[in-house]
Chains A and B, each alone.
Chain A
Amino acid sequence: EAEVAQSPRYKITEKSQAVAFWCDPISGHATLYWYRQILGQGPELLVQFQDESVVDDSQLPKDRFSAERLKGVDSTLKIQPAELGDSAMYLCASKGLAYGYTFGSGTRLTVV
């Protein structure tokens, strides 16, 4: 079964440091999403790509977060500088023609 690959699975970083997460969507999926899930809450959309273009980044804190999908395949989400409140699970998902998404296993970020 096709999967969305994410790395790393876990990341501990000190506040004010830079951190990056990587996602490789299911082959052929043009739409890619980055979500953030804080414990006890539902996933919240950070950014949506259609191929290499950003469709929606209205919820992305652009002063410290950036996302790119240069060739319309894999994607990187970066935080610089990290803050304590950024501790969360960062989920990548991709979507084909169906309405539902397929999520990766996520990256659990802890900022200390």
Chain B
Amino acid sequence: DQQVKQNSPSLSVQEGRISILNCDYTNSMFDYFLWYKKYPAEGPTFLISISSIKDKNEDGRFTVFLNKSAKHLSLHIVPSQPGDSAVYFCAASAAGSARQLTFGSGTQLTVLP
């Protein structure tokens, strides 16, 4: 049973345009959400996070939106750059779970020059 789902395995976007990556979750106990970026043959690197007490968090070109009622979050990248091409993982954690992260299956973003 996948508690964190990324239903789009891949996404292609033109350089300069907006990239929107989506993530859905089923566990209502999740209260902290993160996005990680992964290049081939490297470990995931932290990108941005959001607590369930917020509905938006912004860091430069990256913005994460959280819709708790829909159990949905999204990552917006604007403007997209070729260097953003990577696999993006959504992750979630719950209090009382020793803050273990549960990951989605990832979305491969390709930014075309």
Contacts and interface: CB of A to CB of B under 8 A. Distances in A.
Chain B's interface size range is 20 to 34
A48 B103 CA distance: 15
B41 interface: yes
Interface stretch (B14-22, B42-50, B59-67, B73-81): B42-50
Interface of B: 4, 6, 9, 32, 34, 36, 41-46, 49, 89, 91, 93, 98-101, 103-106
A interface: dominant SS = strand
Interface in A64-112: 91, 93, 95, 99-106, 108
Interface in A27-47: 31, 33, 40-45
A101 B99 CA distance: 10
A103 B98 contact: no
Chain A's interface size range is 20 to 34
Contact of B46 (A40, A48, A100): A100
Contacts of B6: 42
Contacts of B98: 31, 48, 50, 55-56
B103 A43 contact: yes
Contacts of A44: 103
A41 B103 CA distance: 9
A45 B101 CA distance: 8
B57 to A, nearest CB: 13
Given A43-B44, A100-B46, 17 more contacts: A6-B43, A9-B41, A33-B100, A41-B105, A42-B6, A42-B91, A42-B104, A42-B106, A43-B89, A43-B101, A43-B103, A99-B32, A99-B99, A100-B34, A103-B45, A106-B42, A108-B41
